[in-house]
Amino acid sequence: MESMLGVVVAKYNYWLYVVLMMIGFYAMIGKRNLVKKLLGMNIFQTAIILFFVSMGAKRGGGIPILDKEAALAGAVKVAEVVNPLPHVLMLTAIVVSVSVTGVALAVLQRIYKEYGTLEEDEILDKIGRS
Amino acid sequence: MKTLALLATILTGAILLYGTADFAPWGDPESPPNRHLSTYYIEQAVKETHVPNLVTALLGDYRGYDTMFELVVIYCAGMGVIAVLRRSDS
């Protein structure tokens, strides 16, 4: 029972991100509205960003902004500063996610102008008829 | 269709949850992502770049080209939006 609780405490953040990611995944493949699909993709990306940032966490670690004199003297303990590398990589991922969302919204607007709807099955009907 | 999607979601989620068993515990300072490359950055970044904020030092100095060519990503996205939304004369 004690070890069970230890596993929950050690891993619950990953489980939460899996749940969040599966919400986005279901929205992407199960919903018919294209805007809802796009929202699902954004939820998916957010789950991945949270997952990466949480991998860099250290128990008892401070923010990765160092005291300059102490750092130049080599007096910084690695275990007391959280890992800055996932944060940087996720900044890049956020930029990509914003770009993808922008282009996708533009394409959706164009689809709405062309077909008058954003429901996938209605669009497929209209393509099939013409 | 919806049941198939739900089934695929639950299956993928179960596989991912099974995969978390191999991850390092949350907040472990000795976990693999915290042990290899980032220790060098935490110890040496201020000496090499004189930037106290490690995220800024990494983003603007070690990964400078990456950050610079992110502008290309934004630019391409902007050109894509313009190309898609431009009012055609026909």
Q: Which domains does chain A have, with CATH numbers?
A: 2-129 (1.10.287.3510)
ipTM metric: 0.85
B77 and A25: CB-CB below 8 Å? no
Residues 6+ apart with CB under 8 A from A11: B20, B21, B23, B25, B26
In angstroms, rounded to a whole number, what is the distance separating the alpha carbons of residues B74 and A98?
Answer: 9
- CB < 8 Å to A10, chain B: 25-26, 28
Q: Is the pLDDT of residue A130 over 60?
A: no
- Is A107 near chain B, with CB under 8 Å? yes
Per-residue pLDDT of chain B (90 residues; tens, 9 = 90+): 789 999 999 999 999 999 988 888 888 888 888 888 888 888 888 888 888 898 999 898 899 999 899 999 999 999 999 999 987 766
Nearest to B30 by CA among A14, A65, A64, A58: A58
Query: Does residue A90 contact residue A52 with C-beta atoms inside 8 Å?
Result: yes
In angstroms, rounded to a whole number, what is the distance separating the alpha carbons of residues A6 and A108?
Answer: 46
